[in-house]
Structure formats: structure tokens, C-alpha cells
Amino acid sequence: MRKYLTRKILIYLITFFIAASLDWAIPRVMPGNPVSLIVSRFAQNSSGSAQASLITKQMFDYFMQAFQLNKPWWEQYGLFWRNLFTGNLGISMYLYPKPVLSVILSAVPYDVLFLLPSILLSFWVGNRIGAWAARNKRADNALLPIFYILTSVPYFWLGILLVWVFGTILHVLPMSGAFSYSMTPSFTLAFIFDYLKHWILPFLSLFIVALGGWAIGMRNMIIYELESNYSRYMGSLGASQRLIRKYSYRNAVLPQVTGLALQLGTIVAGAITTEIVFSYPGIGYILFQAIMNKDYPLIQGCFLLIIIAVLLANFIIDVLYMFIDPRIRIAYTEG
Amino acid sequence: MKLSDRLKKWDVLYFFLTNNKFKIGIGILLFFILLSIIGPFFVHYKPYEFAGEMGTPPSLGHPLGTNPFGYDLYSQLIVALDGTWLIGLLGGGIATLIGLLIGFFAGYEGGFWDELLMMLTNILLVIPTIALLIIIASFLNSRSVVLESIIIGLTGWPWVARAVRAQTLSLKSREFVSLSKISGAGTLKIITQDIAPNMLSYVFMVFILQFGGSILTIVGLSFIGLGPTNSVSLGGMLQDSVLWNALILGYWWWMIPPGVVITFMVASLYFINMAMDEAFNPRLRSM
């Protein structure tokens, strides 16, 4: 078991190393200098007088020094890792002078409360519906096309539809934000109720789209399992249909758990766009603001946070997998 | 041998023609293909040209209405449709090609190369594509449709590589391959005559999925504001509609049609994929 875990941890560390290095390298290999881009934005505001060009020149030098771009690349790379381990991700330009780390950390609670329930519930409900559809021809014929249409919907567009119906037309649910402007976050009943009212539509848009994919996967897996030799053998021994289904479900859920780990990236993408629709103050919305304002340190910080979150989630799923699949436990404890 | 082969081909064709999912999928797809062929004849404005009226609902002059800036939304949609096809074909094509080469090589060679390539694939699979795309696209000042397709293709291949490798592994140990090996056929002959024909349908299915996946990826990317900078895109239209309060103003004709187009375009591809899956995997034909 320890061997399995050390192997997994090692692979995730390598992955993190590569991802973080990409985060450092991509801005540097791209054509054009981000600093001149920033400076040109300031320069646009002031006309091309001699004084303005001098200020532009000084600003360019200042930023080159501030981002330490005038040093050789290996020094920059070393500094990048040192800053990373001391939690120094730089200063946000758009929310100046807030540090990137604190901007990002302020968004995390909203993301956890929004993403965890929608991912876990859609996984659970989707698997159940898929397993049910697999053994009911009528339901299968009716539901399968619906599942396929659901997985084809862009997450955020379903969010737009939901806001349009429940916000614009019916006026029953708020259209944006995580809570009303008049509220301050606290553990009062009124605030929690207000929070849930804002939470339900983003939750639904993520939940419904993701559900389709899980249901399709489960439906196909169950059909394979019910046709497999062990199911037939159990059937010929006179085992009840219920028992056979129970066993096939337990086998079919394993690839689905692996799929959950692999799908996290797509779900994160869906969450980013959904948060933009709802102006929901999670990491997606912050990232959007950063992109719109060309706030490069913040974009890079968001990238790192997303990577760390996805790797952590993958690791947790790997650990869980060890418990639900006895083969892994045995292979690594005896071999 | 020849006759049975031909019969087998007819069997699959027959199954396609009687499969409702295939008929629906190909029907929707043909509709969108026709829309991009015939649609441009009814386009009277440039995508970013003032069309006379501002924020009007659909009418005869403006089939999909106009937005508050006076842009004709039908013209924008038709132009955006071209870019969507291109990104699906090119992005999906590049991802499929790279994934096919890497997955096939890893599966067929085995050993050290398999370990190395699969480790690389698994690492890239865990890194969320969208994060990678965001960091690449945000540092590019001008992004053409072709460039975005290439970036999407270059980040999308790990899925294909994994699937192709699994398929290669299962094909490589089949009896007819062993038979060819025993009878002294070269590697190239085995690949072209034994493995490729059995792999073709599978690769085509993977390509269809990548096609749809690339479209969904670019839509998400454009919605975040990192879409092509040289033309209109479906995701960009949706982003405009959200940024300029179409939701509060109730301009449904601005935010509904692009989403409907994306959803049904991708769904039609998935339907075709599902029908092919059933045609080649009879076990899935439950209906």
C-alpha cells in the first residue's frame, strides 16, 4: 500500500513540477514582451510627447526590474521556485496592491462549496440513473438521447438559460453574485438562506450537464458487465437479478471513478465559465477579470491554484480507489 | 472470403441506415452543413457592421434580430459557424493524428517506449487542458482561428493516445496477427493489412469525439475572452451577450441561438459516434 502511494505521490510531484515550469516558461517564450504590453496600455493614455516617452521608458525599466526579467533565465527560474515555496505569487496589477495569493485564497471557499456538491451529486445521481437505464429498454430509449444532448450543452450556456428562465422571466431567483449586496457573510439563518438562493442556479447548471456524461458511461459499463461471463454464470446458478446487478454495479463503478479523476479538468473549465455567467466570486470569475484586464501575475496564480486543486483531487481519488478496488490493495501488499 | 467481407460491409451499412440515432445525427449535421453553404447567400451585413436597427427582435430583415450595437446577429452566426467547423476539423484532426501516432507506437513497441510515452500522456491528462490553454492564449496578442485550432489539437491528444494504445494492445495479441508474424510478414505489412483495417472505424469514432470536444473547448475559451481575435465566434457572441446585459434586458435572440447551434452540432456528432459504436459493438445495441 505504501508502495502504491509513494509511486502516485512521485508521479504527481513530477506532474506539478512540469505544470509549474510551464506556468513559468510559457509567458517567456511567447512572442512579444508582456511588460511592453503593460507599458503600452499606460502610454496610450498619455500622448506621444517627449516627456511621455521618457516616462514610458522609465516604467518599462521599472517593470522589467520588478518582475526580475532583466536577470538570466536560470536565476529567474530559481527565484520562481523560491517564491512559490514562500507563497509569494506576486502582486495583482488589476487589484493593486493586493498580493495574488490573498486574492486567490479569498475565492477558494466559494469554489469548494460550489464545486464539491455539484461534482459529487452529479456523479452519484448520474451513475444511478445510468445503471437504471441500462436494464430498462423503454427508459434507455427515452433517456439516452437526452443524456447525449446534456453532455453537448456548454455548461455556461445552460447557466444562461437558467438565469433567463428563473431570473429574467419568473423573477424567483437572483441573477448574479454569491449573496445579496445588503448582506455580510455570517452564520445567521437569513444569510445562509440568501446564500443558498444564489447558489442553486450555478449548482444546477454544473450538476445537470455533468450528470449526462456519468449516466452514459454507467449505462454502457453496466450493459458490458451484465453480458460478461461472471454475470451469466451467476444467473445460471440461480442468483437473483438483484444480486447480479449489485455485483455488476460494483464492477462498473470502478472505471467511472477513474473517469471522475480524468474529467476534473473539463468540470473545472465548466465551472470557470459558469461563474462568469453568474458573476459568482470564485476562481473562475477572478480569472476572467484577470484576463479582461491583462493581469498576468493573477492569471499565472489562478493557473497554479487550478493545477494544485486538480492534482490534489486526483490524489484523493487514487487513495479512494485503493479502498474500492481490492485488486490494487492486494497487488501492492503481496507483490 | 471476398463475399463474406462484402456481406459484412452491407450488414454495417444496413445497420446504419436503420439506426434512428444515426439518422437523427446525420440529419442534424447535414442541416448545419447546408446552413453554412446556403446561409451566406442571405447575409447582407458584415459581422461588425451597423445594420440600422439596435436591439430589435427577429424580423424579416434581420432573421435573428440585432444586438444593442446594431450588429445583425444572423450574419455573425453564419460567419462564426465557418470558424467552428474549421476548429472542429483542424483541432480534432491534429489531436487524433498525434494521439494515433503516439498511442500506436507505445502500444505496438511496448517496453521502455510504452512506459515513457504513457507516463507523459498521463501527466498531460491530469493537467487541466483549459488551464494550459488559458495560459497560452492569454499571452498571445493576436489569435487566428487556425492558430487556436492548432493549440487545441496540441493539447487534446492524450485522450486519443490512451484509447488508441488500448486498442492496439488488444489487436496486437489477436490470432490473425500472430499468424501473419509466423508466416514471416514484415512489421509494415502487419500494420497496414492486419491492424489498420481493424483500427479504422475506431479511429474515426475517436476523431468524431475530438471534433465535438474541440468545438466545446473553443466555445468555452472564447467565452472567457480568449477566442480568435480575427473573427466572430459562437462563444464570443455569447460572451458579448452576457457582458452587455442581454440577460437583464431579456434579449433572448442574442443568447439563445448560438447555444442551440453549439449544442445540436456537438450532439449530432455524439449521436453519430453512438450509432457507430452500436454498429461495431453489437452488445450495445439494446434496443
ipTM, interface predicted TM-score of the complex: 0.87
Q: Which of A29-43, A249-263, A300-314, B258-272 has the lowest mean pLDDT?
A: A29-43
Which of A152, A266, A272 is the best substitution to test chain B (most B C-beta atoms within 10 A)?
A152
Share of chain A above pLDDT 90, in %: 33
State whether residue B286 sits within 8 Å of chain A by CB: yes
Closest chain B residue to the Cα of A304, Cα to Cα: B131
Closest chain A residue to the Cα of B119, Cα to Cα: A11
Residue of B159, B147, B270 lying closest to A151 (CA atoms): B270
Which of B84, B118, B127 is the best substitution to test chain A (most A C-beta atoms within 10 A)?
B127
Residue B86 reports pLDDT greater than 60: yes
For the ranges A172-186, A203-217, B272-286, the one whose mean pLDDT is highest: A203-217
Between A and B, how many residue pairs show a Cβ–Cβ distance under 8 A?
Answer: 167
Cα–Cα distance, B234 to B217 (Å, whole number): 12
State whether residue B166 sits within 8 Å of chain A by CB: no
Return mean pLDDT, chain B: 86
Residue B91 reports pLDDT greater than 90: yes
Q: Using a CB-CB distance cutoff of 8 angstroms, which residues of chain A are in contact with residue B125?
A: 262
Q: What angle do CA B87, B93, B96 make, to 5 degrees?
A: 130
Residue A335 reports pLDDT greater than 60: no
Share of chain B above pLDDT 90, in %: 37
Q: Using a CB-CB distance cutoff of 8 angstroms, which residues of chain A are in contact with residue B274?
A: 144, 148
Residue of A33, A21, A18, A42 lying closest to A70 (CA atoms): A33
State whether residue B35 sits within 8 Å of chain A by CB: no
Residues contacting residue B182 through CB under 8 Å, at least 6 positions apart: none
State whether residue B43 sits within 8 Å of chain A by CB: no
Q: Which of A208-222, A284-298, B8-22, B74-88 has the lowest mean pLDDT?
A: B8-22
Beta-carbon count within 10 A of A284 CB: 31
Residue A7 reports pLDDT greater than 90: no
Residue with cell 526580475: A68
Residue B178 reports pLDDT greater than 70: yes
Among the partner residues A14, A140, A156, nearest to B286 by beta-carbon distance: A140
Four-CA torsion B24, B28, B34, B37, nearest 10 degrees: -140
Nearest-Cα distance to chain A for B137, in Å, is 10
Q: Which of A31-35, A140-144, B200-204, B252-256 has the lowest mean pLDDT?
A: A31-35
Closest chain B residue to the Cα of A138, Cα to Cα: B287
Closest chain B residue to the Cα of A222, Cα to Cα: B284
Residues contacting residue A105 through CB under 8 Å, at least 6 positions apart: none
Q: Using a CB-CB distance cutoff of 8 angstroms, which residues of chain A are in contact with residue B138?
A: 291, 294, 296, 299
Nearest-Cα distance to chain B for A61, in Å, is 20
- Please give the average per-residue pLDDT across A124-136, as a whole number: 91
State whether residue B70 sits within 8 Å of chain A by CB: no
Cα–Cα distance, B129 to A268 (Å, whole number): 10
pLDDT at position A171 is: 87
Q: Using a CB-CB distance cutoff of 8 angstroms, which residues of chain A are in contact with residue B248?
A: 168, 175
Cα–Cα distance, A165 to A173 (Å, whole number): 9
Residue with cell 448560438: B258
CB contact under 8 A, B225 and A291: yes
CB contact under 8 A, A141 and B287: yes
pLDDT at position A164 is: 92
Residue B287 reports pLDDT greater than 50: no
Cα–Cα distance, B270 to B38 (Å, whole number): 24
**Helix ranges restricted to H, chain B:** 2-18, 20-38, 73-109, 111-126, 129-138, 145-172, 175-182, 187-189, 196-224, 234-243, 246-249, 252-280
CB contact under 8 A, B284 and A220: yes
Q: Using a CB-CB distance cutoff of 8 angstroms, which residues of chain B are in contact with residue A222?
A: none
Residue B13 reports pLDDT greater than 60: yes
Nearest-Cα distance to chain B for A33, in Å, is 9
Closest chain B residue to the Cα of A258, Cα to Cα: B126
Among the partner residues A15, A154, A303, nearest to B262 by beta-carbon distance: A154
CB contact under 8 A, A156 and B264: no
The band of A37, judged by pLDDT with boundaries at 50, 70 and 90, is low
State whether residue B259 sits within 8 Å of chain A by CB: yes
CB contact under 8 A, A291 and B122: no
* Grid cell at residue B111: 517496453
Q: Using a CB-CB distance cutoff of 8 angstroms, which residues of chain B are in contact with residue A314?
A: 126
Q: Which of A55-59, A317-321, B138-142, B217-221 has the lowest mean pLDDT?
A: A55-59
Cα–Cα distance, A69 to A296 (Å, whole number): 14
Nearest-Cα distance to chain A for B156, in Å, is 12
Decide if B254 contacts B241 (C-beta within 8 A). Answer: yes
Residue A250 reports pLDDT greater than 70: yes
pTM, rounded to two decimals: 0.88
Return mean pLDDT, chain A: 85
CB contact under 8 A, B256 and A224: no
Question: Between A48 and B34, whose confidence is greater?
Answer: B34
- Please give the average per-residue pLDDT across A29-48, as a whole number: 65
State whether residue B244 sits within 8 Å of chain A by CB: no
Nearest-Cα distance to chain A for B183, in Å, is 34
Share of chain A above pLDDT 70, in %: 91
